Amino acid sequence: MTTSPLLTDLYQLTMAAGYWKCGKAEQEAVFHLFFRKLPFSGGYAVAAGLGDVVKWLQGFRFSAAELDYLATLPGRDGRPLFERGFLDYLSTLDWRCDVDAIPEGTVVFPHEPLIRIKGPLIQAQLVETALLNMINFQTLIATKSARVCLAAQGEPVLEFGLRRAQGPDGAVMASRAAFIGGCASTSNVLAGMTHGIPVRGTHAHSWVMSFDTELAAFEAYAQALPNNCVFLVDTYDTLEGVRHAVEAGHHLRDRGHELAGIRLDSGDLAWLSVEARRILDEGGFPNAFIVASNDLDEHLIESLKHQGSRIGVWGVGTQMVTGGSQPALGGVYKLGAIRNASGEWEPKIKLSEQAVKVSNPGIQQVRRFTLNGEFRGDAIFDEEHGCPASVEIIHPSDPTRSKHIPEGAAHEDLLQPVFRAGKLIAALPTLPQIQTRCREQLAHLHDTVKRLQHPHAYPAGIERTLYEQKMQLIQKART
């Protein structure tokens, strides 16, 4: 993964040059990263990508080579786009912002700030694009993975998407995010080394095709890797392939090893899995599992389970690492407040003809309320005003809908300190710990919120005081 600050859009640098030129570079500001709409028409999302954000921010510094490149960029008149003084300023820039973030693996909802950046305006602006790149993609894939794993109902899901992923960096990030969402392993060996994710894989159709017979191919593989025998059985005739796997499995057992399973990669997976299970059981291999692949997603897995398939392990590739029908999360990064000349925080708001695109002002925090072990609602509030003891949560795009949380309800504030004055202060969890958090978070959501079709809307919105402040700012801006 690159750590270059040039992982950005040009307009971040042109704005930075403008801030420097007009003396606003060091003015303190607060930005929030959030998304407006849940992916996959689902009921929740899973926050991911913070680990890579931390690594990128720790390396945030312009090198001489990067500044030399920026010096070559021309303006529309052919002259240098950036003044030498601005580039000299960038050469001394070091990361000095505060960062608060919702921990990876947490279930999150629209308009909730996943990351809050507070610090010099120029620095908070320059990191926007890279943060959106990492958080948008990994949150999308972690959410997809969680949906797939819930559909599998506790059976292992293997991520097989490397060859279909969006480039090498995208593939490794996708494997990381898929593991956060619940996948048991990956086929991506680089992701295994980089992130400590268990790696799995056996052989392809080409292995079988390179031998005179399918049985000979299975026997040769068993000789070479007797402790890794999951035979791909659909190169020619699938059920005959299962019988060949049983025959090779007996020879394997005679040498003190065991047939782990078979893989189905085409055809009627429900019917074939039932027949394959019968052949394996009758052949003396009741513990051999059946792996299925072939462009699976959460909806196909749910359907196969309803059809009574005997599949016990699910290999999911393209639909997992690309997001399937939804190629991007659509997260945004908006200014919430700026410190004025008097030293006071001044809330800021972005207006739009679309209500969903009107930003929330202030220095935002998210408070999650829990009752009897179940998440009951999230309130976005302004830390400058605090959150009242008795909370009314207003729907972000429909003020006629609200939810009341009584005084004394158990709660936690989701945004946690990560950087202070540019120094990392948080102990980052391991990837297995993040995966465990995701599993525990999902367990606290009501089943109706997690269903694939027409999920129940979880009550997440803005606290009444912040809502009223937002309405006042809208009225002021429009008059």
- Compute the C-alpha angle 170/51/299, nearest 5°: 55
Q: Which amino acid is at 239?
A: L
**Residue-wise pLDDT tens digits, 100-110:** 999 999 999 99
Q: Hey, what domains does the chain have and what are their CATH numbers?
A: 10-139+331-478 (3.20.140.10), 142-321 (3.20.20.70)
Q: Which amino acid is at 230?
A: V
Q: Is 448 a residue whose pLDDT tops 80? A: yes
Tell me, what's the pLDDT at 354?
85
Alpha carbon distance 450, 46 (integer Å): 12
Mean pLDDT for the stretch of residues 224-247? 98
Question: pTM score, two decimals?
Answer: 0.97
Least confident of 9-18, 267-276, 349-358: 349-358
**Residue-wise pLDDT tens digits, 141-187:** 999 999 999 999 999 999 999 999 999 999 999 999 999 999 999 99
Tell me, what's the pLDDT at 175?
98
Mean pLDDT, the chain, integer: 96
Alpha carbon distance 478, 109 (integer Å): 28
Number of other residues whose CB lies within 10 A of the CB of residue 382: 23
Tell me, what's the pLDDT at 393?
97
- Spatial CB neighbours of 326, under 8 Å, sequence gap ≥ 6: 39, 40, 140
Alpha carbon distance 139, 154 (integer Å): 21
Q: Is 279 within 8 Å of 246 (Cβ atoms)?
A: yes
The phi and psi torsions of 228 (rounded to 5 degrees) equal -145, 40
- Give residue 75's pLDDT band: very low, low, confident or very high (50, 70, 90): very high
Alpha carbon distance 89, 94 (integer Å): 10
- Residue 40, phi-psi category: left (phi > 0), alpha (psi -120 to 50), beta (remainder): left
DSSP secondary structure letter of residue 332: E
β-bridge partners, 416: 101
Tell me, what's the pLDDT at 399?
86
Q: Is 55 a residue whose pLDDT tops 90? A: yes
